[in-house]
């Protein structure tokens, strides 16, 4: 058999609309061996923020070949034509970036705005007042929020500009000028491309591996660490200090928190913008103050972790709904508060409200900055109610599928832990944090793996240690009668659900337990005065990722 000819690798540049023409013509496709779209809303907004500033956003690695591979029918939320005859280019690296750009900028006017994250995440707006990219989920958007979908469409741009003139006649000239400048930046922005012509899939993947390995992005903490590294008598190594902080957080099982989040808590302690900071400027600002700032931040992070474990019963970072909740609490404790009953009650309601409603998933940099300021004011005793974070936001419904990357799923699991610490089949309390450290997500065992039994529903998962050769269903059915009631109650398993399991009706067990879990959740929400969900069940939005705590 002939060896495949060596591929030709050529660096290139293209404006965004040129790439869109290839996508829209069906000639540039996402192969099915790529991961589906998983970017969170804040990551999508950050991409446009980088383009507006003229920052590089990484190269798209495109492989042009006559070989046919299965590909996704959609790029982002939009269908693309079937593969045309002849050669086709496949995206080997850059799927998330390309899908974000194409989905947001080519979004049709009639595309739904929500309430599911899979819908509203594609509606990104530019806030012409605050100069920031935002998501807007509730009601009609105000006129000063300019839809990104209109930037590359002349007719839609003029329509949005006309609305500005009608609703904000005095401010509209300046605001329209801002929108025009943004449109020009996006139209003229050149994406870096690496085009691979020919060769085999194996060769293309090898090129991808080498390019990606060499081009791996430097994280913010690594950048500032390099900029502030000092040797000699006044030596200081930020990277080493972050390692030490993470090691110390082991005491509260928060050692899985990502380095970036620990770094953001340090930046917050310096009262700098944790999301949109010029790292070179930050390093200069901190200068000799950085060692002291890190020490103060470490103490407040330890108190935040202790509070989460002891007051809110979060058994470690793996089940924390949003990593930025940790940063907020760290700033509260940096003020050395008295921790009055009123403060604790307000923080408890904030924690659960933001976890159930998904506030952090839609929050922009301005929201985060203002919220941090309010936590500082609360810690100093100057504030008794939040303004930026709406505690009356509607809670998202019971999640219909189990995925630990969903803050809503984590909130559901924490709700069960709030009621009662889960017991083992021997009646002894389980050490949840240790089990998570040992088994990771596998500790949430399937009762059934049959798709007909609502296999993906959270009610089909039970937190129990793995026992070799013994399925969780068998463990539940063999609990001693003297212990059964307590053990089942600790896992939020109703009598009706257990009777279904005894009859061999696993589907009935999952359905009955799901109803019971949702009922318990709503009761807990009512106690905290959280606005109840508007539907019984919904999608488990993927709005966190493992990178936040690993």
List CB contacts of 210: < 8 A, sequence separation 6 or more: none
Q: Are residues 225 and 135 in the same domain?
A: no
Q: Are residues 71 and 156 in the same domain?
A: yes
Q: Are residues 414 and 475 in the same domain?
A: yes
Q: Is residue 33 part of a domain?
A: yes
Distances (CA, A) of 290 to 232, 267, 302: 16, 10, 18
Would you tell me the crossing angle of helices 172-188 and 154-167 to the nearest 10 degrees?
160
SS3 of 471-520: CHHHHHHCCCHHHHHHHHHHCCCCHHHHHHHHCCCHHHHHHHHHHHHHHH
Q: Which of 262, 358, 276 is nearest to 45 (CA)?
A: 276
Q: Is residue 494 part of a domain?
A: yes
Residue 527 sits at φ, ψ, to 5 deg, of -60, -35
| Omega within 30 of 0 (cis) for the link into 500 | no
Beta bridge partners of 126: 133, 146
If one counts every other C-beta atom within 10 angstroms of the C-beta of residue 537, the result is 15
Torsion, Cα of 479, 485, 491, 493 (10° steps)? 100
Q: Transcribe 122-152 into DSSP letters.
A: T-EEEETTTTEEEE--SSSPPTTEEEGGGTT
Is residue 531 classed exposed, middle or buried when 0-12, 13-18 and 19+ CB atoms within 10 A define those classes?
middle
Single out the residue in 183, 217, 251 at which a domain terminates.
217
Residue 536 sits at φ, ψ, to 5 deg, of -75, -30
Question: Is residue 153 classed as helix, strand or coil in its secondary structure?
Answer: coil
List CB contacts of 403: < 8 A, sequence separation 6 or more: 409, 540, 542
Tokens of 7: 């591929």
Residue 305 confidence (pLDDT)? 98
In contact, 330 and 301? CB cutoff 8 Å: yes
Q: Which of 520, 509, 534, 536 is nearest to 448 (CA)?
A: 509
Q: Are residues 142 and 279 in the same domain?
A: no
For residue 226, pLDDT over 90 is answered with no
Tokens of 339: 């921790």
Question: What percent of the chain lies above the pLDDT cut of 90?
Answer: 69
Q: Among 55-69, 369-383, 428-442, which stretch is predicted with the lowest mean pLDDT? A: 55-69
Q: Are residues 365 and 443 in the same domain?
A: no
Question: What percent of the chain lies above the pLDDT cut of 70?
Answer: 91
* 381 phi-psi bin (left φ>0, alpha ψ -120 to 50, beta other): left
Average pLDDT, the chain: 89
For residue 1, pLDDT over 90 is answered with no
Q: Which of 402, 428, 430 is nearest to 417 (CA)?
A: 430
State the average pLDDT over residues 377-397. 94
Distance of CA 61 to the CA centre of its chain: 25
494-534 pLDDT per residue, tens: 999 999 999 999 999 999 999 999 999 999 999 999 999 99
Q: Are residues 432 and 543 in the same domain?
A: yes
Higher pLDDT, 98 or 550: 98
Task: Return d(Cα 28, Cα 22) in angstroms, integer.
Answer: 5
Cα distance between the two ends of the chain: 46
For residue 217, pLDDT over 60 is answered with no
Question: Is residue 59 classed as helix, strand or coil in its secondary structure?
Answer: coil
State the average pLDDT over residues 352-380. 95
Residue 59 sits at φ, ψ, to 5 deg, of -85, 150
Task: Return d(Cα 142, Cα 378) in angstroms, integer.
Answer: 30
Q: Are residues 131 and 253 in the same domain?
A: no
Residue 549 confidence (pLDDT)? 32
Residue 216 confidence (pLDDT)? 45
For residue 127, pLDDT over 80 is answered with yes
Q: Are residues 206 and 310 in the same domain?
A: no
Beta bridge partners of 61: 93, 194
Task: Return d(Cα 354, Cα 371) in angstroms, integer.
Answer: 12
State the average pLDDT over residues 227-239. 66
Q: Are residues 98 and 241 in the same domain?
A: no
Q: Is residue 390 part of a domain?
A: no
Q: Is residue 388 part of a domain?
A: no
State the average pLDDT over residues 156-175. 94
Number of domains in the chain: 3
In contact, 410 and 396? CB cutoff 8 Å: no
Domain encompassing residue 531: 398-548
In contact, 146 and 160? CB cutoff 8 Å: yes
Q: Are residues 245 and 263 in the same domain?
A: yes
Q: Is residue 364 part of a domain?
A: yes
Question: Is residue 236 classed as helix, strand or coil in its secondary structure?
Answer: strand
Residue 400 sits at φ, ψ, to 5 deg, of -80, -10
Q: Are residues 351 and 437 in the same domain?
A: no
If one counts every other C-beta atom within 10 angstroms of the C-beta of residue 468, the result is 4
Q: Is residue 392 part of a domain?
A: no
Torsion, Cα of 68, 74, 75, 81 (10° steps)? 60
Tokens of 129: 């007042």
Question: Is residue 541 classed as helix, strand or coil in its secondary structure?
Answer: coil
Residue 468 confidence (pLDDT)? 84
Residue 328 confidence (pLDDT)? 98
Higher pLDDT, 331 or 234: 331
Q: Which of 174, 119, 182 is nearest to 152 (CA)?
A: 182
pTM of the predicted model over 0.95: no
Distance of CA 149 to the CA centre of its chain: 23
Question: What band does 7 get if pLDDT is binned at 50, 70 and 90?
Answer: confident
Q: Are residues 191 and 230 in the same domain?
A: no
In contact, 348 and 311? CB cutoff 8 Å: yes
Q: Is residue 317 part of a domain?
A: yes
Q: Which of 205, 161, 210, 212 is nearest to 182 (CA)?
A: 161
């Amino acid at each position: 058999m002939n060896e495949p000819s060596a591929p030709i690798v050529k660096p290139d540049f293209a404006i965004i609309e040129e790439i869109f023409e290839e996508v829209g013509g069906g000639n540039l496709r996402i192969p099915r061996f790529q991961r589906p779209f998983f970017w969170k809303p804040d990551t999508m907004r950050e991409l446009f923020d980088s383009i507006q500033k003229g920052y590089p956003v990484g190269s798209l690695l495109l492989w042009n070949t006559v070989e046919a591979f299965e590909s996704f029918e959609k790029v982002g939320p939009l269908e693309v034509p079937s593969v045309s005859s002849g050669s086709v280019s496949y995206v080997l690296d850059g799927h998330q970036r390309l899908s974000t750009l194409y989905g947001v900028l080519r979004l049709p006017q009639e595309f739904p705005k929500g309430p599911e994250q899979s819908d509203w995440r594609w509606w990104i707006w530019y806030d012409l007042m605050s100069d920031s990219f935002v998501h807007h989920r509730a009601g009609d958007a105000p006129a000063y929020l300019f839809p990104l979908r209109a930037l590359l469409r002349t007719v839609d741009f003029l329509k949005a500009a006309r609305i500005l003139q009608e609703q904000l006649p005095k401010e509209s000239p300046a605001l329209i000028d801002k929108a025009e400048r943004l449109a020009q930046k996006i139209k003229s922005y050149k994406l870096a491309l690496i085009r691979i012509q020919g060769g085999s899939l194996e060769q293309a993947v090898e090129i991808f591996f080498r390019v990606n390995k060499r081009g791996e992005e430097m994280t913010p903490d690594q950048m500032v660490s390099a900029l502030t590294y000092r040797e000699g008598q006044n030596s200081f190594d930020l990277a080493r200090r972050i390692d030490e902080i993470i090691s110390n957080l082991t005491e509260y099982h928060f050692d899985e928190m990502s380095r970036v989040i620990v770094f953001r808590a340090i930046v917050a302690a310096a009262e700098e913008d944790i999301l949109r900071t010029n790292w070179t400027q930050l390093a200069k600002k901190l200068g000799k103050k950085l060692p002291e700032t890190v020490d103060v931040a470490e103490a407040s992070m330890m108190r935040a972790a202790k509070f989460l474990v002891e007051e809110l019963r979060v058994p470690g970072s793996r089940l924390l709904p949003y990593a930025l909740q940790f940063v907020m609490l760290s700033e509260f404790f940096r003020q050395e508060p008295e921790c009055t009953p009123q403060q604790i009650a307000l923080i408890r309601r904030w924690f659960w409200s933001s976890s159930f409603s998904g506030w952090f998933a839609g929050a922009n940099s301005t929201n985060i900055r203002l919220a941090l300021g309010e936590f500082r004011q609360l810690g100093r005793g100057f504030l008794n109610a939040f303004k930026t974070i709406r505690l009356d936001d509607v809670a998202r419904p019971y999640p219909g599928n189990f995925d630990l990357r969903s803050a809503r799923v984590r909130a559901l699991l924490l709700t069960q832990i709030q009621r009662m610490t889960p017991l083992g089949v021997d009646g002894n309390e389980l050490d949840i944090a240790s089990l998570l450290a040992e088994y990771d997500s596998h500790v949430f065992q399937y009762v059934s793996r049959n798709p007909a039994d609502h296999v993906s529903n959270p009610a089909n998962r039970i937190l129990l240690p793995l026992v070799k050769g013994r399925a969780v269903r068998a463990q539940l059915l063999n609990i001693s009668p003297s212990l059964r009631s307590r053990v089942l109650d600790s896992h939020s398993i109703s009598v009706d659900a257990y009777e279904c399991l005894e009859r061999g009706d696993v589907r009935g067990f999952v359905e009955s337990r799901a109803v019971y879990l949702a009922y318990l959740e709503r009761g807990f929400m009512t106690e905290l005065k959280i606005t109840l969900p508007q539907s019984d069940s919904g999608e488990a939005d993927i709005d966190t990722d493992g990178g936040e705590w690993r």
